[in-house]
């Protein structure tokens, strides 16, 4: 059965940008688009008073907007008679990927992902793409200073085993569908608190160059099967000494159309469920962010 690309909508500019991004991606991949809206809100202090007719109209408005802009796309809708978190996690399990809108970015605005987005990310076994809206309501997937979409899928690679394979499969599939390149980003070393260059003792002994060469070889080895499988996808190997979050965000600041990061599905009970690099990327990347769960 063909899995759709599913997008959660709520009538906000962010959800409209998410629907537009999802529609473009569905058209590229030849997949149907499924618009969902959970009409029972997350209660805060008191149970909400649902308004089913208004919710159905909201969903229809989103459908009409998408269908008008993408006439060849198969678009379906579904009103979820449950709270958003549970409903979206259930929908994600039946989808190729789930797309959500999120507000702004920066040290404060970035944390306005809300009470729905983070729980959905940390409880689903399917990729989730978070899309921000520009002032004109369009997805923020343009290259810096350009009026067109970025031409790179930037993927952060920490572990080069099974987790890397899961993230690279998503990155190469996405890049192939849109004719983009894959920029494979890997950070190595343990930078000091006030610097991002190798320590002097490593430089003096030549160890930094040796470690850099070892890391480059490991990265090239991890990418080799994907180069063979997708010979038409250009690949950029982006290896830097430094903090993993900073290296990934810096790599995404140029021509990224999408940043791909991972989330371990099995984590210690008290660990930060999405991981520090994924948290930093969600909150500070300018472009849409795909969080891809892996089993490690």
Of 70, 117, 112, 83, the C-alpha closest to 98 is: 117
Task: Give me 274's structure tokens.
Answer: 């999405």
Contact 150, 256 (CB under 8 A): yes
Task: Taking the CA atoms of 43, 44, 45 and 48 in sequence, report the sign of the dihedral they define.
Answer: negative
Inform me whether the pLDDT recorded for 15 exceeds 50.
yes
- What distance in Å separates the CA atoms of residue 208 and residue 214, rounded to the nearest whole number? 10
First and final C-alpha spacing in the chain: 27
- CB neighbourhood size of 247 (10 A): 22
Report residue 178's pLDDT band, with 50, 70 and 90 as the boundaries.
very high
CA distances from 33 to 9, 89, 192, 250 (A): 12, 17, 46, 32
pLDDT tens-digit map of 92-148 = 999 999 999 886 443 333 333 455 677 788 888 899 999 987 766 677 665 555 556
* More reliable by pLDDT, 118 or 248: 248
**Can you give the pTM of this predicted structure?**
0.86
- Would you state the pLDDT for residue 271? 46
Inform me whether the pLDDT recorded for 31 exceeds 60.
yes
- What distance in Å separates the CA atoms of residue 89 and residue 85, rounded to the nearest whole number? 6
Average pLDDT of the chain, as a whole number? 82
**What percent of the chain clears pLDDT 70, i.e. is strictly above it?**
77
Hey, what's the torsion of the CAs at 115, 121, 123, 128, to 10 degrees?
140
What the chain holds in terms of domains, given with CATH numbers, is 1-140 (3.40.50.620), 146-296 (3.40.50.620)
Q: By mean pLDDT, which of 16-20, 82-86, 175-179, 283-287 is the weakest?
A: 82-86
- What distance in Å separates the CA atoms of residue 95 and residue 78, rounded to the nearest whole number? 13
What is the Cβ-side half-sphere exposure of residue 52, based on CA atoms within 13 angstroms?
5
CA distances from 159 to 60, 80, 156, 205, 272 (A): 43, 37, 10, 27, 18
Contact 145, 172 (CB under 8 A): no
Mean pLDDT for the stretch of residues 205-219: 79
* More reliable by pLDDT, 46 or 273: 273
**Which residues does 41 contact at the CB level (< 8 Å), separation at least 6?**
48, 50, 83, 84
Task: Give me 227's structure tokens.
Answer: 């180069």
Residues paired with 236 in a beta bridge: 183
- Would you state the pLDDT for residue 176? 96
């Amino acid at each position: 059965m063909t899995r759709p690309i599913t997008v959660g909508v709520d009538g906000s500019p962010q959800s409209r940008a998410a629907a537009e991004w999802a529609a473009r991606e569905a058209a590229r991949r030849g997949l149907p688009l499924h618009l969902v809206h959970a009409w029972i809100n997350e209660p805060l202090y008191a149970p909400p008073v649902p308004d089913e007719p208004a919710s159905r109209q909201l969903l229809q408005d989103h459908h009409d907007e998408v269908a008008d802009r993408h006439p060849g796309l198969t678009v379906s809708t579904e009103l979820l008679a449950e709270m958003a978190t549970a409903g979206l996690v259930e929908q994600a399990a039946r989808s190729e990927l789930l797309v959500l809108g999120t507000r702004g970015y920066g040290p404060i605005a970035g944390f306005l992902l809300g009470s729905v987005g983070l729980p959905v990310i940390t409880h689903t076994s399917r990729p989730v793409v978070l899309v921000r809206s520009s002032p004109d309501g369009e997805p923020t997937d343009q290259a810096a200073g350009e009026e067109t979409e970025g031409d790179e899928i930037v993927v952060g690679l920490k572990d080069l085993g099974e987790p890397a394979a899961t993230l690279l499969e998503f990155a190469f599939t996405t890049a192939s569908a849109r004719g983009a390149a894959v920029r494979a980003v890997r950070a190595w070393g343990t930078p000091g608190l006030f610097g991002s260059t190798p320590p002097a003792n490593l430089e003096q002994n030549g160890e930094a160059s040796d470690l850099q060469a070892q890391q480059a070889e490991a990265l090239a080895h991890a990418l080799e099967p994907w180069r063979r499988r997708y010979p038409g996808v250009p690949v950029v190997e982006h290896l830097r000494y430094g903090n993993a979050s900073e290296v990934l965000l810096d790599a995404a600041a140029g021509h990224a159309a999408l940043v791909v990061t991972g989330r371990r599905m099995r984590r210690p009970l008290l660990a930060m469920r999405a991981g520090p690099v994924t948290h930093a990327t969600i909150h500070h990347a300018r472009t849409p962010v795909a969080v891809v769960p892996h089993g490690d």
